[in-house]
Amino acid sequence: MSAAAIVDTDPVSQPTASVGLSNRFAWLQGLKSPKTLVGLIILAFFVLLAIFGPIFAPYDPSSVSWETLQPPSAAHWLGTTQAGQDVFSQMLYGARISIIVGFCAALLATVVSVVVGLVAGYLGGLTDDLLSLLANVFLVLPSLPLAVILVSLLPKSGSAGIILIIAITGWAWGSRVLRAQTMSLRRRDFVEAARATGERTAKIILHDIMPNEMAIIASSFLGTVTGAILTQASLSFLGLTSVSEWSWGTILYWAQVNSALLMGAWWWFIPAGLAIALLGTSMSLINFGIDEFINPRLRQANAGTKAQAKARRAEAKARKLGAVGLPTRDKVLPPEDHPDSSVVLDVRDLVFGYGVGDDATVAVNHVSFQVRRGEVLGIAGESGSGKSTLANAIARLYRPAATTISGQLLYTNAAGATTDVLTMSDEELRRFRWDELSVVFQSAMNALNPVLTIGTQIDDVLRAHRADMTKAERETKIRELLGLVGIQSDRVRAYPHELSGGMRQRAMIAIGLALDPEIIIMDEPTTALDVVIQRQIIEQLIRLKDELGFTIIFITHDLSLLMELSDTIAIMYAGRLVECSPTRQFYQHPVHPYSQGLLRSFPTLSGAKRELTGIPGSPPDLRHLPPGCPFAPRCDQATERCQEHKPDLRQVMVDNTTIQVACHSLEIPTQPKEDAHVQQH
Amino acid sequence: MSSNIEPAILSAHEVSKHFRVRGRGFAKAGHLHAVDGVSLDLYAGQITALVGESGCGKSTLARLLAQMYSLTAGEVVFQGATAQASRASAFRRYVADVQLMLQDPYGSFNPVATIEQHLTRAIKVHHPKASRAEVAQIAEDLLRQVHLEPPRQFLDKFPHELSGGQLQRCSIARGLAANPKVFLADEPVSALDVSIRLGVLNLLRELTEVHDVALLYVTHDIASARYFAADTAVMYAGHMVEHGDSEAVTQTPAHPYTRLLIDSAPDPNRPRGTTERTDVGAPPSLIDPPTGCRFHPRCPLATKLCSTTEPPVAVLAPGGQSSAGRPHWAKCWLYSQAPAGFIGPTQQTSTNANTPHRTKEKSDGITK
């Protein structure tokens, strides 16, 4: 379920109905990058020069005159050589050869490296061994000396020969990169899916592998162009090409032969050197934008980032000035404001959003709930419902992209002092996390540091937060913690990759428990695990909770797991809390139509088979929410009012139990449950 | 539903797949016994669920049936003939009839190609003579069949612009392009949200019924097998341990592993705290699998016999109505007579160091 989770934590990747430009021309957005644009303009200038230059050249580049070694003047824009030749004309003619050689050699080298890299990477086995050997041989040979040797072996050193030699010496590196990329793409599902449709190997390479490597191919091509122009110049400079054929390299050759540097004739060599450097720069600039050209996903994602960054900066500034968002209030509230000290966390009207303008997404929308000491609160919702954002918001672990934050997060510690987590300073926050609240994430492999042992990682947490503990005390504590979660203490020195998925998740829980926190937030902690291991971990967790008395906020999409595990269930939909009630009550009488739909969606193992009807449609795009209840488009009980007005979360009595629900249907007298009555709160 | 006499359309007969594992560092090289001597029959118009934990070989078995992997031993029989798809052209003919559908809807689409390009390619493989207009027509029809309407709106989209459920429907549409007789769906809904899953499963069921397709539903969610499949087969560590009518397998599980799997699955009907159990360990390494019944190191009921000899098929109940007459069986010594020469199924028996009956299938140790 990792894919689902990825979507959940990354609101930008929500499926969208509309893309700015039509897909066919969307790649043009790559031009929006100023770097790419500048690079392309420089390149276009040189290409035009190569095509039309000789037509406009004022002189024949080879014709000698008496005006020797003249500095730049109106007659000779770039001065003259020792033989009285016009440097400007030489530059114009030279552009043609330099660019042709550069591009043709790069094209040839890229074609060879693509063919070799893709074939070797895709087919593998003996083909791969042989082709890789060949590439490696070329890689270890220094390319310029090799080129020099090859040139001297050529019978005729025309441009065609030079192109061939540059291509021969330049393909190997690209092929290595492409081979590695192909080998990882080969294992991707879409390649297997294409194979499963019976597609031919050649077509798979052409249609599935190559388009995904276009960015690398293009950037390797651009790099090779620069390299080829340089190599050509070097070879010419060394006098290894036909010196009567004008290229930027031959200009440099003649300048060097005639000691232009010694005579201070800077105009003779600087233009050629500058032209080569400029062309190389343009290639690098184009390279910056190449990803946006090729990856359809980046084209879209990139659009908002700049505006977002700007808004973030503005907001940070405003906050510094105390103008935005968080109302100033006393941090520690008097106890009488909070008569019920059994409430450990009181979330009041929490709002949490990303992005600005069209991309603005409110991931957590006016959410309020309370968690009691020692209870298990289960938060369930689909991908994109905001449940993971809520978890991150409570721990204040949100990424910098968060742009709107408001509401209160009142935390009451064991001594009865209440603090608003949202107004904590960085130092208070550091103490609050781990000491009072810890978070266990879904992917233990990503959350654990792969190069440190499990013991060291727990030790790090202890050292950072319990400076007064001695080494021996810490060691005892580590063993005790591992014992608690059911890891044998001889695994202290194990690295994460040496543990199974279940063991890693236990290690994560051990780290979460290290400082005896009051609250543990678990964000899909068992989703990646098999049911048998999941069951073992959940049982262990409940045992620990009963022993140590902490509070668990358990977030998952697996409603059936929550029903078994939690005391209270909160259902989120499109960033809102739609229902929050005691688990048993929820299972027997779900009130919100979405809750009812969820319960009709999953199959049960025991008892009689129920009719499964599911929920029609799919969750809304958070960026384009309907004006009324976000569930209204999928709701079979929706009325006109639901389409227009968002229902508030209210307390309602159902079966003598107080629950919270956000639905208009409960205010209509003809609602299904006759014993429910509304109590305005 | 199919009648008793109808033969299986696609069968695996005692198939095995061993992967070569390269030794790394001091770890020795060996063979990963992903699937060992497994048989399974699929019938037209019927859904068969294949259930097990990750690494039990269920996905490998689906790929063996799809001829994506070569067999180490055994044979795959399609419509009465041994399927031999080692050559590319034969494989193409084979996949026209037997389509594999993958788990991850996001991963199984090429991120740089539109849905139309994906469908067009699949259509061209199987309808090479179709004109451009015909291909476009077929693509729209396919999307209509999987209830993505209006089709035009979806054809232009890139994979990342669609939701998981919509992509999985596109994946089904791509599979339908070949007009297959068998659909092998590897965890088709595991990556989807609960409220979306049901729609995709119902679509698969509808296609099974409308096109009389045989469907293998590979899943780790045994509860969904109960609702969705006529038959359920349970795999553990490369072996098939139980098979039968889905209702029978889930309500009266016979093999201790099936019971563990069902006890572990979340079930809101079960009150909290009723399943207190000790640590039951993890599945074994398949490079050096346990002898006898592969579940014996974790089994609370294991005897000496279980650790030495693989149990035979024990038929527990004759076929019921819904499974078209196929019996409910389990491979467990609880339900079989100990072979002659073995003294008692009790744990105390310490005689019999080398039993003369077939010890773990050394015979099919042929490897690729």
Span B262-289, average pLDDT: 73
pLDDT for A338 beyond 70: no
Min distance B36 CA to chain A CA atoms (Å): 22
**Average pLDDT score over residue span B29-54:** 90
User: B-chain residues within 8 Å CB-CB of A598?
Assistant: 194-195
The packing angle between helices A172-186 and A214-237, to 10°, is 170
Contact B262 A214 (CB under 8 A): no
Do the Cβ atoms of B125 and A197 come within 8 Å?
A: yes
C-alpha of A37 from chain center: 25
Chain B: closest CA distance from residue A594 (Å): 10
Distance CA A10, CA B172 (A): 26
Nearest Cα neighbor of A384 from A101, A625, A25, A629 is A625
Q: Quick one: pLDDT at residue B311?
A: 92
Q: What is the pLDDT of residues A155-205, one digit of tens each?
A: 765 788 888 888 888 888 889 989 988 988 888 888 888 887 777 888 888
A555: three-class secondary structure by DSSP: strand
Mean of the pLDDT values across residues A233-241? 83
CA distance A277 to A558: 59
Specify the pairing of strand A437-440 against strand A650-654: unpaired
The first and second tokens of residue A548, run together, are: 């140590």
- Within 8 A of B199 by CB-CB distance, chain A residues are 614, 616
pLDDT digit string, tens, across residues A278-329: 998 998 888 877 776 666 666 554 444 455 555 555 555 544 443 333 333 3
What is d(CA B100, CA B230) in angstroms, rounded to the nearest whole number? 20
Position A357 scores a pLDDT of 65
Q: Mean of the pLDDT values across residues B214-228?
A: 92
Q: What's chain B's average pLDDT?
A: 82
- A678 φ/ψ sector (left φ>0, alpha ψ -120 to 50, else beta): beta
What are all long-range contacts of A267-274, with beta carbons under 8 Å and residues at least 24 apart?
A267/A71, A267/A72, A267/A78, A267/A79, A267/A87, A268/A79, A268/A81, A268/A87, A271/A78, A271/A87, A271/A88, A271/A91, A272/A91, A272/A94, A272/A233, A272/A248
- DSSP β-ladder status, B98-101 and B182-186: parallel
Do B7 and B32 form a contact (C-beta atoms < 8 A)? no
Per cent of chain B over pLDDT 70 is: 83
| pLDDT tens sequence across B89-117 | 888 888 889 999 887 888 889 888 899 99
CB-CB contact of A522 with A506 (8 Å): no
Question: Closest partner residue to B68 among A196, A603, A619, by Cβ?
Answer: A196
| Alpha-carbon gap, residue A652 to A650, rounded angstroms | 6
Q: Which of B69, B8, B1 lies closest to B39 in space, CA to CA?
A: B8
- With beta carbons under 8 A apart, name residues in chain A contacting B268: 559-560, 563-564, 587, 604
Tell me the pLDDT tens digit for each residue of A645-666.
888 888 888 888 888 899 988 7
Q: Token pair for residue B188?
A: 């088709």
Chain centroid to CA A194: 26
Q: Which residue of B has its CA nearest to A541?
A: B273
Lowest-pLDDT range of A81-95, A315-329, A634-648: A315-329
Q: Which residue of A has its CA nearest to B282?
A: A533
**A532 to B162: CB separation less than 8 angstroms, yes or no:** no
- The confidence band for A24, taking pLDDT boundaries of 50, 70 and 90, is low
pLDDT at B16: 94
Average the pLDDT over A107-113 and give the result.
94
Which residues have CB under 8 Å from B80's CB, separation 6+? Answer: B7
- Entry field: residues in chain B: 368
In 3-state terms, what secondary structure has residue A560? helix
Task: Please check the confidence at residue B350 and state whether its pLDDT lies above 70.
Answer: no
Q: Which residue of A has its CA nearest to B108?
A: A190
- State both tokens at A366: 């006016």
> Above pLDDT 70, what percent of chain A?
83
Assess whether pLDDT exceeds 80 at residue A494.
Answer: yes
Given a cut of 70, whether residue A18 has pLDDT beyond it is no
Structure confidence at residue B257 (pLDDT): 93
Q: Across A79-83, A172-176, A301-305, A330-334, which has the greatest mean pLDDT?
A: A172-176
Confidence tier at A352 by pLDDT (50, 70, 90) = confident
pLDDT at B42: 94
Asked if B29 reaches chain A (Cβ–Cβ under 8 Å), the answer is no
Q: State residue B76's pLDDT score.
A: 93
Q: Give the residue-averaged pLDDT of A247-269.
A: 85
Q: How confident is the model at residue B273 (pLDDT cuts 50, 70, 90)?
A: low
Tokens 């090799």 -> residue: A146
* Tens of pLDDT, residues B142-180: 999 998 888 888 999 888 888 888 899 999 999 898 889
Q: What pLDDT is stored for residue A673 in this prediction?
A: 44
Three-state SS for chain B is: CCCCCCCCCEEEEEEEEEEEECCCCCCCCEEEEEEEEEEEEECCCCEEEEECCCCCCHHHHHHHHCCCCCCCEEEEEECCEECCCCCHHHHHHHHHHEEEECCCCCCCCCCCCCHHHHHHHHHHHHCCCCCHHHHHHHHHHHHHHCCCCCHHHHHCCCHHHCCHHHHHHHHHHHHHCCCCCEEEEECCCCCCCHHHHHHHHHHHHHHHHHHCCEEEEEECCHHHHHHHCCEEEEEECCEEEEEEEHHHHHHCCCCHHHHHHHHHCCCCCCCCCCCCCCCCCCCCCCCCCCCCCCCCCCCCCCCHHHHHCCCCEEEEECCCCCCCCCCEEEECHHHCCCCCCCCCCCCCCCCCCCCCCCCCCCCCCCCC
For residue B130, the Cα-to-chain-centroid distance in whole angstroms is 34
Given this model, what pLDDT does residue B362 score?
A: 34
Q: Is B31 on the interface with A (CB under 8 A)?
A: no
Least reliable range by pLDDT among A567-571, B113-117, B198-202, B353-357: B353-357
Contacts of A542 (CB under 8 A, 6+ apart): A376, A565, B272, B273
One DSSP character per residue, A166-234 reads HHHHHSHHHHHHHHHHHHHHHTSHHHHHHHHTT--HHHHIIIIIHHHTHHHHHHHHHHHHHHHHHHHHH
Measure the CA–CA gap between A171 and A115, rounded to whole angstroms: 10
- Higher pLDDT residue, A528 or A574? A574
CA–CA gap between residue B13 and residue B200 (Å, rounded)? 30
State residue B115's pLDDT score. Answer: 93
Residue B33, φ and ψ in degrees, nearest 5: -85, 80
Mean of per-residue pLDDT scores for chain A: 80
Q: Which run of H or of E encompasses A291?
A: helix A266-294
Minimal CA separation from B183 to chain A, in Å: 11
Higher pLDDT, A268 or A156: A268
A671 contact partners, CB below 8 Å, separation of at least 6: A665
Residue whose token pair is 């960033």? A575
Distance in Å, alpha carbon of A558 to nearest chain B alpha carbon: 8
Give the separation between CA A121 and CA A184, rounded to whole angstroms: 9
Is B250 an interface residue toward A (CB < 8 Å)? yes
**pLDDT for position A390:** 87
Yes or no: say if A366 and A576 are a contact pair by the CB < 8 Å rule. Answer: yes
Beta carbon pairs, A and B, within 8 Å: 217
Please list, in sequence order, all residues whose beta carbon lies within 8 angstroms of the beta carbon of residue B102, skipping any fewer than 6 positions away.
A189, A192, A193, A196, B108, B171, B186
Distant-in-sequence contacts of B274-277, Cβ < 8 A, 24+ apart: B275/A535, B275/A539, B276/A539, B277/A535, B277/A536, B277/A539
Answer with the residue of higher pLDDT: A362 or B353: A362
pLDDT range class, residue B193, cuts 50, 70, 90: confident
Q: What confidence tier does A41 reach under pLDDT thresholds 50, 70, 90?
A: very high
Q: Is any Cβ of chain A less than 8 angstroms from the Cβ of B83?
A: no
Q: Count of alpha carbons within 13 Å of B247, Cβ hemisphere only?
A: 9
Asked if A632 and A642 touch (Cβ cutoff 8 Å), the reply is yes
SS3 of chain A: helix, strand, coil, percent, to 5: 55, 15, 35
Residue type at B172 in one-letter notation: I
- Local confidence band at B47 (pLDDT 50, 70, 90 cut-offs): very high
| Interface test with chain A among B53, B98, B110, by most A beta carbons within 10 Å | B110
